[in-house]
Amino acid sequence: MQLLHINLGKVRPLRVGERKLMSAIGKTPVPGPVSVGPLGLAGDEQADLSVHGGLDKAVYAFPLEHLAYWQQQRMAHGVSLFEETLLPGFVGENLSLTGLREDAVYIGDRLHFADCVLRVTQPREPCGKFNAVMGYAQAARDMVQSGRCGFYLAVESPGVLHPGEPFELVAGSRQVSIAQALAFKRHKHLR
């Protein structure tokens, strides 16, 4: 398992349908190292603290392997006519990881990096801003149905992260995986 990219973003206007909203969903890779404090990565911003950020959603991690799926979805919905490569940070993630997917990570698991520890708290639940970035109206629904959502992390031990560094997954109680938590939320919304 490896942290390939650290992505940061600033709050800026985003067009969602006819409305213009403020958002920091647009993240771009930085060379690092990046300091990690209780509320997230130094230099990263969130526009709507009611749904992003805070102690339990300080950092958003996303399996980089999912970008190919999202590229296909955009092509299937006519957003992209060419095979464009989606870049790290495209879905708004702070950490682009490899080797750790939603069915293998559980709420309460810890990601041990060389200089900090992050604890898995919950799956990402997408909003209309995700639809706007993806370019089609059903993107949030597709994220929930596909389970390709990534997960939020709390900062258990602040420190510094480096792009390219490996990390170790230390199991928590292993009661509910991120995939199971998202499936539960999906089922609850369908009622």
Cα–Cα distance list, 76 to 79, 136, 137, 155 (Å): 8, 10, 13, 37
Per-residue confidence at 84, pLDDT binned at 50, 70, 90?
A: confident
Residue 188: pLDDT band (50, 70, 90) is low
| pLDDT above 90 as % of the chain | 82
What pLDDT is stored for residue 191 in this prediction?
A: 46
Q: pTM for the complete prediction?
A: 0.94
For the stretch 97-119, pLDDT in tens is 999 999 999 999 999 999 999 99
CA-to-CA distance for 70 and 73, rounded, in angstroms?
5
Class of the domain covering 2-190: mainly beta
46-65 pLDDT per residue, tens: 998 878 899 999 999 999 99
Q: What is the mean pLDDT of residues 171-178?
A: 97
Residue in 131, 117, 121 with CA at minimum distance from that of residue 167: 117
Which tops the pLDDT comparison, 77 or 84? Answer: 77
Taking alpha carbons only, the member of 25, 46, 176, 38 closest to residue 117 is 38
The mean per-residue pLDDT over the stretch 149-167 comes to: 98
State how far the Cα of 92 lies from the Cα of 117, in Å rounded to an integer.
21
Segment 10-46, tens digit of pLDDT: 999 998 888 898 999 999 999 989 999 999 999 999 9
pLDDT at 187: 63
